[in-house]
């Protein structure tokens, strides 16, 4: 989602009726298609209503690969599109591929 589309969705969520209608027309022009339908608007309004009650949302990447950084940025922008304050934490670095976090066994005990 582009910054322009995020800004228009914020107008849809937070603006008075005439601003909301114009933003929906602008979204259609930006997308080159019909305005968003009732289903998309309803889902986005519901997500916006729930997220707007939170002080912030933390995004914690599972690694620091280039693809992971792109994914993290997309998630951050999508959340910001709902008007949600977003904090991106330091990536969690696991112990390699396929590692599943689980209980840690005390040293010296047989399993």
pLDDT band at 31 (very low <50, low <70, confident <90, very high): very high
Decide which of 107 and 23 is more confident: 23
DSSP conformation class of 82: T
pLDDT band at 26 (very low <50, low <70, confident <90, very high): very high
Asked if residues 81 and 87 have their Cβ atoms less than 8 Å apart, the reply is no
């Amino acid at each position: 989602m582009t910054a322009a589309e995020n800004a228009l969705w914020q107008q849809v969520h937070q603006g008075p009726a005439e601003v909301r209608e114009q933003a929906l027309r602008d979204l259609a022009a930006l997308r080159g298609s019909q305005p968003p339908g009732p289903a998309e608007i309803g889902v986005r309004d519901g997500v916006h209503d729930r997220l707007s009650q939170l002080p912030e949302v933390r995004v914690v990447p599972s690694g620091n690969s280039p693809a992971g950084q792109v994914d993290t940025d997309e998630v951050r922008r999508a959340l910001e599109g709902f008007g949600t304050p977003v904090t991106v934490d330091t990536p969690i670095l696991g112990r390699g591929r396929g590692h599943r976090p689980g209980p840690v066994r005390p040293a010296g005990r047989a399993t």
